[in-house]
């Protein structure tokens, strides 16, 4: 989010300085992993579902600036073990918005995707749009682009934020002041902005990386992303997601649940017990799972708002905060960066920005001009 904001503001003519406590790409950042997903399947959240269309337009603008598109279209496959409310409500939301949903029986899903196990699979549907954003490559490429565009990068630890003065105090005692301050500190944000405590929670999330057995590698290479949904009544709305091994990346699996625990300063290595908890979700859904090789695992930290709403808000006259992006914010990074830059230039747009970023309003024409 910080780099996306820097990109949007630099495009609008601002002189920009980015301060990060670690080297960029930040190895402790939530975005520095092989992949992030972009898709319209959003449960009953029609606001963010529709925002995905605008996100694609913003990504196209970024690809033009970077000179390459770091995206692999895969499509989406949504699975359910019970066909319960969580699955059906999300499907109805897509259909009500005119999205093309292809319903699949378990047998049809297995015929098309032979890595699936039919045990406990009640129903499925497929969506053609959707794919994998190559997140770590995007962060690195955006960093290079911003450097070439004159953005200054400073590695320093911020000890305190003064929103009223748009000023930072660094750990070495020095200060940095600006006409405009944007705080996009991920899971560290509540430490720097005490007003976020209780609104945003740091959450340790674990990923596992797998190598499919030889007989299933070709099927996985052409696979869509998988969203396996358990009903909200079961296992606290659990299930898993799987990212196919595209563009030289490994097969990745993760848990839909938020841990809402841990500290952003914790190591990013994952324990054997944490990895096994993910595999326990995945094992019943994938055929011949014992033949898969576990390559490794990792942890990252999200900043989670209770309803998974994005916080893009002014703090006084010259400071903005970007927070609460959970696991689904990456797909909207360029869109929010362009929107923030437009809001800074147009006070009328600024007033509408928090509600729109929270997925609760459509963008007005003045805002949409930022990415169309």
- CATH code for the domain of 319: 3.50.50.60
Q: Give the pLDDT band of residue 236 (cuts 50, 70, 90).
A: low
Query: Within this chain, do residues 2 and 25 fall inside the same structural domain, yes or no?
Result: yes
- In this model, does residue 233 exceed pLDDT 80? no
Query: Is position 133 within any domain?
Result: no
Query: Within this chain, do residues 230 and 367 fall inside the same structural domain, yes or no?
Result: no
Q: Give the structural domain span for 122.
A: 76-128+203-304
- In this model, does residue 242 exceed pLDDT 50? yes
Whole-number average pLDDT of the chain = 95
Query: Within this chain, do residues 241 and 229 fall inside the same structural domain, yes or no?
Result: yes
Query: Is position 137 within any domain?
Result: no
Query: Within this chain, do residues 56 and 90 fall inside the same structural domain, yes or no?
Result: no
Query: Is position 357 within any domain?
Result: yes
Query: Within this chain, do residues 58 and 94 fall inside the same structural domain, yes or no?
Result: no
Query: Is position 145 within any domain?
Result: no
Query: Within this chain, do residues 65 and 209 fall inside the same structural domain, yes or no?
Result: no
Query: Within this chain, do residues 217 and 185 fall inside the same structural domain, yes or no?
Result: no
- In this model, does residue 313 exceed pLDDT 90? yes
Phi, psi (degrees; rounded to nearest 5) at 133: -90, 125
d(CA 192, CA 265): 14
Q: At 96, list the tokens.
A: 């009500």
Query: Within this chain, do residues 57 and 22 fall inside the same structural domain, yes or no?
Result: yes
Query: Is position 266 within any domain?
Result: yes
Query: Is position 143 within any domain?
Result: no
pLDDT in tens, 114-148: 999 988 789 999 999 999 999 999 999 999 999 99
| Predicted TM-score (pTM) of this structure | 0.96
Query: Within this chain, do residues 207 and 290 fall inside the same structural domain, yes or no?
Result: yes
pLDDT in tens, 350-361: 999 999 999 999
Mean pLDDT value of segment 12-27: 96
Mean pLDDT value of segment 252-261: 92
Q: Which of 75-84, 226-235, 258-267, 276-285 has the lowest mean pLDDT?
A: 226-235
Which of 264, 285, 304 is at the close of a domain? 304
Q: What CATH number should be reported for the domain holding residue 80?
A: 3.30.9.10
Query: Within this chain, do residues 333 and 361 fall inside the same structural domain, yes or no?
Result: yes
Query: Within this chain, do residues 218 and 290 fall inside the same structural domain, yes or no?
Result: yes
Query: Is position 139 within any domain?
Result: no
Q: pLDDT value at position 348?
A: 85
Query: Is position 144 within any domain?
Result: no
Count of domains in the chain?
2
Q: pLDDT value at position 235?
A: 45
110, 112, 116, 121: CA torsion to nearest 10: -50
Which of 286, 304, 322 is at the close of a domain? 304
């Amino acid at each position: 989010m910080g780099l996306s904001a820097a990109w949007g503001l630099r495009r609008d003519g601002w002189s920009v300085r980015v301060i990060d406590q670690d080297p960029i790409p930040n190895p402790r950042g939530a975005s520095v992993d092989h992949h992030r997903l972009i898709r319209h399947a959003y449960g009953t959240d029609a606001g963010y579902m529709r925002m995905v269309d605008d996100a694609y337009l913003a990504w196209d603008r970024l690809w033009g600036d970077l000179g390459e598109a770091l995206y692999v279209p895969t499509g989406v496959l949504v699975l359910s073990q019970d066909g319960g409310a969580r699955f059906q409500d999300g499907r109805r939301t897509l259909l009500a918005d005119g999205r093309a949903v292809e319903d699949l029986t378990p047998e049809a899903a297995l015929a098309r995707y032979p890595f699936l196990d039919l045990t406990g699979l009640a129903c499925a549907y497929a969506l053609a749009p959707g794919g994998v954003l190559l997140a770590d490559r995007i962060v690195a490429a955006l960093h290079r682009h911003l450097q070439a565009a004159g953005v200054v990068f400073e590695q320093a630890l911020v000890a305190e934020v003064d929103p009223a003065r748009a000023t930072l105090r660094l750990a070495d005692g020095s200060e940095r002041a600006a006409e405009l301050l944007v705080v996009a500190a991920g899971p560290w944000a509540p430490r720097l902005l005490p007003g976020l405590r209780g609104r945003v929670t740091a959450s340790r999330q674990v990923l596992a990386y797998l190598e499919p057995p030889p007989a299933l590698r070709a099927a996985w290479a052409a696979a869509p992303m998988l969203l396996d949904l358990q009903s909200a009544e079961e296992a606290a709305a659990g299930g898993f997601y799987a990212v196919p091994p595209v563009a030289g990346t490994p097969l990745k699996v993760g848990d839909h649940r938020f841990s809402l625990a841990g500290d952003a300063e914790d190591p990013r290595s994952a324990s054997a017990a944490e990895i096994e908890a993910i595999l326990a979700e995945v094992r019943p859904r994938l055929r011949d799972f014992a033949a898969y090789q576990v390559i490794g695992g990792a942890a990252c930290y999200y900043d989670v708002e209770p309803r998974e709403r994005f916080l893009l808000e002014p703090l006084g006259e010259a400071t903005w905060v970007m927070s609460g992006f959970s696991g689904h914010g990456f797909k909207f990074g360029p869109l929010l960066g362009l929107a923030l830059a437009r809001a800074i230039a147009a006070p009328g747009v600024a007033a509408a920005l928090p509600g729109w970023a929270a997925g609760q309003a459509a963008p007005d024409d003045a805002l949409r001009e930022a990415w169309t």
